[in-house]
Chain A
Amino acid sequence: MEGNEMDRAGLQRIPSGVPGLDELIEGGFPFPSVILVSGAAGTGKTTFCLRFLCEGAARCERGLFFTTLSEPSHWMLRFSSQFDFMRPEYFGDAIVYEDLSALLRHGDQDKLLEAVDRRIAEVMPQRIVIDPITVVGEMLKDQYRSFLFDLTNRLKHWNATTLVTGEVSPGELYPPEIAYSVDGIVLLHLTEEYGDRRKYLEVLKMRGTNHSTGKHSIDISRKEGLVVLKARF
């Protein structure tokens, strides 16, 4: 390499769509990359991911939403359509919804990887969501770690930015099985303060990014979904 003659471009970034987040991570998520969005139930993980996909759809970037919950698309849309940013017409061509639960029940990691690969190759998305990845661990058991290793490697090569969500138990920050293999970790915290539950977002890791540290207060609104507020704690 010829050090001082290098003419490298900065990392490509795509806007997350989450108001207030991009300014914490130098303008957006690296493209391509795999990002873990971790949090307990009710912290807004799915809302975060839907906002990410809708932002892409509005910019003509195709999205692919893999659910592991055996939830039909109309059921997910029924709730998420309450948000102003959600446009049901995105779902179909701009955002493709894929249910992996039937394959998960067979517990065969090769078939599952093949199905994910096949669908990605068909759709050719720039944005992918797998929600939640932790369900896969319960189904695959001993194969889970090798599955995650192969999955994240493949996702990085598909030229997309992928969000995988991880459900954690109270007190746990992130699912440790996947944390080492992702490029970024965004934590969504839910804490009890003075008899009230408050939500925070924290960027724990974002490779190649001079990201903000510390917890940032968040809110979930009808209009914009998950919003990072200005106050920092």
Chain B
Amino acid sequence: MNARDMRQYENLRKQLGPVPRPGLIVLDVRTTQFVVVELVLLKALIGEGNPGLFISVDRPHQYMVHLLDMHGIEHTSVTFIDTVSQFSSSDAHRQARVGFFKGPNNIDTLPTALREWSSEDHGFDLAQCRFALIDNISNLLTFNSHQKVQRFIREFVELLGDRAAVLLVIDRQRSPNLYHSVLAMGGTELRLEAEMCNGNGEGSFKDSMTDSKEGVDHGRQ
């Protein structure tokens, strides 16, 4: 992590506190920055060892585990739920406590599955979870209707929301409907440190993307 990432980490840690407040939390992040922000966010969430869930819906869990390992972030308190694939086509194996789920198009059944998995036998106790972070929830819209994704979020929050923080990282400009529906469900916004890019490769989180449907730059200031 460079100095920018560490500033962002301090900012998020300050907002989250030592134990994250239960409920639905949303962050507006550019898609290109998801990986960096999720890593920094996980570091802040884990803190001194808060138990939590990391649910990957976009890429195999090994990649986040690798990042955590590389950046020296202890993750034994985190359970990874991989909805992408049981066997990644690459052989990038990483050691982590992980459960596999039957694909992102069945995501609406995940809350029930988690309830069933939660037992001492599986070494995973939902009641102990203090946070759940879902990796790129917008990607679910590729496989599911907006209504189905909304329903999943609602049920997931019902499952965890009174005892754990449920964090969603969404690019508001790319998925405005999803972002606003999360806010309508009572989600609170976590603010990232706003930095402007000065053209020297310093700073962060200035929008640089174009949307293929509109073909225009979206400046996010």
Contact = CB atoms under 8 A, between A and B. Distances in A.
Contacts of A12: 31-32, 174, 209, 211-212
Contacts of A61: 32, 208
A87 B200 contact: yes
Contact of A31 (B31, B90, B141, B178): B31
B144 A1 contact: yes
B201 A94 contact: yes
Interface in A1-40: 1-2, 5-15, 22, 26-28, 30-31
B32 A90 contact: no
A153 B89 contact: yes
Interface string A62-75: 10000000000000
A208 B209 CA distance: 17
Contacts of A2: 144-145, 147-148
Interface in A38-66: 56-62
A150 B90 CA distance: 5
Contact of B145 (A7, A122, A159): A7
Interface string B203-216: 11110111111111
Contact of B208 (A14, A95, A157, A209): A14
B209 A13 contact: yes
A162 interface: no
Given A5-B145, A31-B32, A60 B92 contact: no
A127 to B, nearest CB: 9
A159 to B, nearest CB: 4
Interface string B1-16: 1100100000000000
A15 B210 contact: yes
B138 A9 contact: yes
A28 B211 CA distance: 9
A157 B90 contact: yes
Given A2-B148, A10-B213, A57 B63 contact: no
Contact of B210 (A7, A27, A90): A27
Contacts of A121: 66-67, 69-71
A217 to B, nearest CB: 23
Contacts of B146: 5-7
A59 B200 contact: no
B211 A117 contact: no
Given A60-B205, A90-B200, A150-B90, A9 B141 contact: yes
B209 A8 contact: no
Interface in A72-130: 87, 89-90, 93-95, 117-118, 121-122, 124, 126
B63 A157 contact: yes
A93 B141 contact: no
For A28, A30, A58, A121, which residue has the most chain B Cβ atoms within 10 angstroms?
A121
11 contacts: A1-B143, A6-B146, A7-B145, A9-B174, A9-B211, A13-B210, A27-B215, A31-B31, A60-B201, A157-B92, A158-B35
Interface of B: 1-2, 5, 31-36, 39, 59-60, 63, 66-67, 69-71, 88-92, 105, 138, 141-148, 174-175, 177-178, 195, 197, 199-206, 208-216
Closest 9 A-B residue pairs measured CB to CB? A94-B201, A59-B208, A5-B145, A60-B197, A10-B212, A121-B70, A57-B201, A10-B213, A27-B210
